[in-house]
């Protein structure tokens, strides 16, 4: 169905947008366009230097809003779509609009830490919502039968929440310019527990500690999922989640050791978002396939 495809495209689009947002910050292009929603008073500025990244980010964000609007319209118009799908997609529209406003506020108020962090947190929340809808509306396989994997689903939800919190904390590290508060790795200022004398060091160190917790939790969950009795179409995501968390840890080290080079920092954000999407998908697909089917309604008359 077209609405399911549109939801899937929106998930990929959101990942690209998050990656571009990280590139914008890593290249110090966040204020390359000093006004909003225009850029130097126009919607078609000269795409050079930092303006290229900042305005490209805005254009992709606008494209995502249009794409999600199409997905929402399709969810309303297409036959046999449960009402909750349309209602949830409307929530996504609201999230995108609020997130866009916060994007404007970051420019207007010159990158305040909490506003910029909220901007990214809303983007991650939208990614979770979009992934959940894309997963729930995809054609469910029949190989899982009536087995729901309820225990593993709780694990998946817990892991998803951990990764979300860790990602928001990482956003705070980024926007507080605390990425080099601990200039060494794996130690911090040469110590296992550094003196927490200021906010940048404290936030950076907490991000590292929670990173260890996330890595252990996701790895344990991936092992449990892979060795479970669930269908292969679900278990195949276990090595993906494990690989992403390993790469994410490596990129965290690389970001510090390269003094926040653009590539590792931007990929660090992309992999974190991808892991969040994968865990959200697992949490949804461990629900019984019949639940989505049972919630369908007869075709609408238009």
Give the whole-angstrom CA distance, residue 27 versus residue 185.
Answer: 23
Q: What is the pTM of this model?
A: 0.92
Task: Identify the band that residue 148 occupies on the pLDDT scale cut at 50, 70 and 90.
Answer: low
38 C-beta neighbours (distance < 10 Å), count: 13
Least Cα distance to 89 among 124, 126, 138, 139 occurs for 126
Look at residue 24 and tell me if it is in a domain.
yes
Look at residue 301 and tell me if it is in a domain.
no
Q: Does 265 have pLDDT greater than 70?
A: yes
Among 115, 139, 163, the domain boundary falls at 139
Q: Are residues 195 and 57 part of one domain?
A: no
Q: Are residues 155 and 116 part of one domain?
A: no
Q: Phi first, then psi: what are they for 39, rounded to 5°?
A: -130, 110
Task: With beta carbons less than 8 A apart as the criterion, state whether 144 and 230 touch.
Answer: yes
Least Cα distance to 10 among 153, 161, 135, 164 occurs for 135
Mean pLDDT of 152-160: 94
Look at residue 172 and tell me if it is in a domain.
yes
Residue 139: per-residue pLDDT? 67
The range of the structural domain enclosing residue 210 comes to 146-295
Look at residue 174 and tell me if it is in a domain.
yes
Look at residue 302 and tell me if it is in a domain.
no
- Residue range 212-260, pLDDT digits in tens: 999 999 999 999 999 998 889 899 999 999 999 999 999 999 999 999 9
Q: Are residues 268 and 132 part of one domain?
A: no
In total, how many domains does the chain have?
2
First to last CA, the chain: 18
Q: Are residues 150 and 133 part of one domain?
A: no
Look at residue 11 and tell me if it is in a domain.
yes
Task: With beta carbons less than 8 A apart as the criterion, state whether 221 and 161 touch.
Answer: no
- Residue range 27-72, pLDDT digits in tens: 999 999 999 999 999 999 999 999 999 999 999 999 999 999 999 9
Look at residue 288 and tell me if it is in a domain.
yes
Question: How many helices (H) and strands (E) in the chain?
Answer: 10, 0
Among 82, 114, 139, the domain boundary falls at 139
Torsional class of 165: left (φ above 0), alpha (ψ -120 to 50), beta (otherwise): alpha
Give the whole-angstrom CA distance, residue 254 versus residue 265.
Answer: 8
77 C-beta neighbours (distance < 10 Å), count: 13
Among 124, 139, 154, the domain boundary falls at 139
- Residue range 79-113, pLDDT digits in tens: 889 999 999 999 999 999 999 999 999 999 999 99
């Amino acid at each position: 169905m077209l609405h399911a495809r549109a939801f899937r495209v929106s998930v990929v689009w959101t990942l690209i947008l998050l990656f571009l947002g990280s590139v914008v910050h890593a290249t110090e292009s966040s204020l390359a366009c000093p006004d909003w929603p225009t850029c130097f008073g126009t919607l078609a500025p000269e795409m050079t230097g930092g303006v290229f990244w900042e305005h490209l980010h805005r254009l992709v964000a606008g494209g995502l809003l249009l794409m999600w609007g199409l997905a929402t319209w399709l969810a309303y118009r297409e036959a046999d779509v449960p009402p909750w799908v349309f209602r949830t997609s409307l929530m996504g529209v609201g999230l995108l609009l609020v997130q866009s406003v916060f994007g404007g506020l970051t420019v207007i108020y010159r990158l305040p830490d909490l506003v910029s962090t909220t901007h990214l947190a809303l983007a991650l929340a939208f990614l979770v919502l979009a992934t959940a809808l894309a997963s729930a509306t995809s054609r469910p396989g029949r190989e899982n039968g009536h087995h729901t994997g309820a225990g593993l689903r709780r694990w998946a939800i817990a892991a998803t929440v951990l990764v979300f919190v860790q990602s928001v904390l990482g956003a705070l590290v980024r926007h507080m310019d605390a990425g080099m508060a601990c200039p060494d790795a794996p130690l911090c200022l040469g110590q296992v527990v550094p003196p927490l004398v200021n906010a940048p060091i404290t936030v950076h160190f907490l991000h590292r500690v929670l990173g260890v917790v996330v890595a252990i939790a996701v790895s344990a969950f991936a092992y449990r999922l892979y060795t479970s009795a669930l269908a292969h179409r679900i278990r195949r995501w276990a090595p993906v989640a494990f690989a992403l968390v390993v790469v994410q840890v490596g990129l965290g080290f690389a970001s510090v050791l390269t003094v926040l080079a653009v590539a590792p920092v931007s990929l660090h954000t992309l992999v974190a978002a991808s892991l969040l999407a994968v865990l959200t998908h697992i949490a949804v697909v461990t629900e019984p396939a019949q639940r989505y089917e049972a919630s369908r309604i007869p075709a609408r008359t238009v």
